[in-house]
């Protein structure tokens, strides 16, 4: 079965065509600058053939027409007929409380997704545009929605509620939802597959550390806590997001700087985090270079703060789960930075967690156990693959319907 995975953002569409028979990525690419000047499509076929097409791509539907066009093209394409696409899997950011798993998309499901727009006004509308466009362009092909929030719907109420008046939860659905769920689910399951252990009996902590970063406690196969909250701003320090912050400080800054909610939102989402502290960059490679090669003190502080926050969350999730069996690192930083992993894992021997330095050092972007064989807690690096997880869910849902 060939599945097209779409991730529609506000001005971009990422796509992958995956042949689920052998998990081959037949083609991958991105349409960028939708609705802006200089829009283009960048495409790569499995044999390495690349294409870059420029054009006026004013809407998502046009972007998807470009994608289907390049997939069919004689020179760069991977299929001869659109009928070869058996199903489409869409990444959808927010499923609110309506979706606790991936779903086959029907008009009823779309109506529910539209109700979730309020919760993710920047993300859900472009996700929906991709769905509407596909209904128009490939009306007979089944479509599946895979939500970033769904995996975390198993969190117990004492974990997802905020201690604010309960009426605000009832009125506006203010609670913690969590994000990156597809990634946390993928890497935690994959870790258990690699270790050959039963997913439903393990206590797992997954650290997704990329530009966005979040950490999840998974007990017996279920997310029981995660660091992102009502929005993806809560929790860990990120490239440009502050993570946890005293609301009192937010109010004080807004008063003193005389800024409204919009500017405050930009301040804490776009100018904070690693970028705000270091003043160097939001990119951890540049910050590591500044800290270790140029002795930049603020860059070093940003790294120390980032790692300390991750460590604190790991500790709290171990307490919440009553132990830990597996700790997984993923995301650009988690997969690639041995320095971050080493610093986070320092002084955890008391937990029965010992790292094999030789395995951790220089290890990038590969599936690997980096703890010592005798370590009670298995520590692993598992590169995330949200698209494969979306394709897998799509395959499962579409196959079960055919039975």
Per CB under 6 A, 343 contacts ligand ADP: no
Backbone region of residue 394 per phi and psi (left: phi > 0; alpha: psi in -120 to 50; beta: other values):
alpha
Q: Which two tokens stand for residue 225?
A: 């806590």
Which position among 331, 378, 383, 393 is part of the footprint of ligand ADP (CB under 6 A)?
331
Cα 350 to Cα 353: distance, rounded to the nearest angstrom: 7
Per CB under 6 A, 235 contacts ligand ADP: no
Per CB under 6 A, 285 contacts ligand ADP: yes
Q: Which is nearer to ligand ADP, 77 or 181 (CB)?
A: 181
Per CB under 6 A, 212 contacts ligand ADP: yes
Region of 105-113, 210-218, 221-229, 290-298 interacting with ligand ADP (CB under 6 A): 210-218
Query: Which residues 136-175 are close enough to bind ligand ADP by CB under 6 A?
Result: none
CA-CA-CA-CA dihedral for 121, 122, 124, 127, to nearest 10: 160
Per CB under 6 A, 77 contacts ligand ADP: no
Q: Which two tokens stand for residue 183?
A: 């990634």
Catalytic residue among 86, 107, 118, 148: 148
274 in Cβ contact with 282 (< 8 Å):
yes
Per CB under 6 A, 210 contacts ligand ADP: yes
Q: Which is nearer to ligand ADP, 179 or 313 (CB)?
A: 179
Which position among 178, 276, 332, 383 is part of the footprint of ligand ADP (CB under 6 A)?
332
3-state SS, one letter per residue, for 234-251: CCCCCCCCCCCCCHHHHH
CB atoms within 10 A of CB 309: 20
Per CB under 6 A, 227 contacts ligand ADP: no
58 in Cβ contact with 90 (< 8 Å):
no
Q: Which is nearer to ligand ADP, 14 or 219 (CB)?
A: 14
CB of 289 to ligand ADP, least distance (A): 10
Is residue 347 flagged as an active site residue? Answer: no
Secondary structure class of 324 (helix, strand, coil): coil
Least Cα distance to 43 among 73, 21, 86 occurs for 73
Burial of 163 (C-beta count, 10 Å sphere; 0-12/13-18/19+): exposed
CB of 384 to ligand ADP, least distance (A): 7
Q: Which is nearer to ligand ADP, 234 or 325 (CB)?
A: 234
Per CB under 6 A, 206 contacts ligand ADP: no
Region of 36-44, 191-199, 331-339, 387-395 interacting with ligand ADP (CB under 6 A): 331-339
Query: Which residues 360-399 are close enough to bind ligand ADP by CB under 6 A?
Result: 364
The CA–CA distances, whole Å, from 402 to 260, 391, 395, 397 equal 52, 16, 11, 9
97 in Cβ contact with 173 (< 8 Å):
yes
Q: Which residues are catalytic?
A: 148
Q: Which residues bind ligand ADP (CB under 6 A)?
A: 210-212, 239, 283-285, 331-333, 336-337, 364
């Amino acid at each position: 079965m060939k599945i097209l995975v779409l991730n529609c953002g506000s001005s971009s569409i990422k796509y992958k065509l995956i042949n689920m028979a052998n998990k081959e990525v037949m083609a991958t690419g991105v349409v960028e600058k939708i609705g802006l000047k200089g829009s283009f499509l960048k495409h790569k076929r499995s044999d390495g053939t690349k294409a870059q097409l420029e054009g006026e791509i004013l809407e998502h539907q046009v972007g998807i027409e470009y994608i289907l066009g390049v997939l069919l093209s004689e020179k760069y394409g991977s299929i001869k007929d659109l009928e070869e696409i058996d199903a489409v899997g869409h990444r959808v950011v927010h499923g609110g409380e309506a979706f606790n798993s991936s779903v086959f998309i029907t008009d009823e499901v779309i109506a529910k997704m539209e109700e979730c727009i309020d919760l993710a006004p920047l993300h859900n509308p472009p996700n929906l545009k991709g769905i509407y466009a596909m209904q128009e362009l490939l009306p007979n092909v089944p479509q599946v929605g895979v939500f970033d929030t769904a995996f975390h719907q198993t969190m117990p109420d004492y974990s997802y509620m905020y201690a604010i008046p309960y009426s605000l939860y009832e009125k506006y659905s203010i609670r913690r939802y969590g994000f990156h769920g597809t990634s946390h689910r993928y890497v935690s399951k994959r870790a258990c597959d690699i270790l050959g252990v039963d997913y439903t009996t393990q206590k797992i902590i997954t650290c997704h550390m990329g530009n966005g970063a979040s950490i999840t406690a998974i007990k017996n196969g279920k997310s029981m806590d995660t660091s992102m909250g009502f929005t993806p701003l809560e929790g860990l320090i990120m490239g440009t997001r502050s993570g946890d912050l005293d609301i009192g400080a937010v109010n004080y800054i807004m008063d003193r700087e005389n800024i409204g909610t919009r500017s405050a939102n930009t301040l804490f989402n776009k100018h904070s985090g690693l970028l705000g502290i270091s003043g160097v960059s939001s990119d951890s490679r540049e910050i590591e270079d500044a800290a270790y090669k140029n002795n930049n003190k603020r860059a070093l502080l940003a790294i120390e703060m980032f790692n300390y926050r991750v460590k604190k969350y790991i500790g709290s999730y171990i307490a919440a789960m009553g132990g830990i069996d597996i700790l997984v690192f993923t995301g650009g930083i988690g997969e690639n930075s041995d320095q971050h992993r080493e610093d986070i894992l320092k002084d955890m021997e008391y937990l029965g967690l010992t790292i094999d330095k030789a395995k951790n050092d220089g290890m990038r972007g590969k599936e690997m156990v980096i703890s010592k064989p005798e370590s009670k807690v298995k520590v692993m690096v598992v590169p995330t693959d949200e698209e494969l997880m979306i394709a897998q869910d799509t395959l499962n849902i579409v196959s079960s319907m055919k039975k």
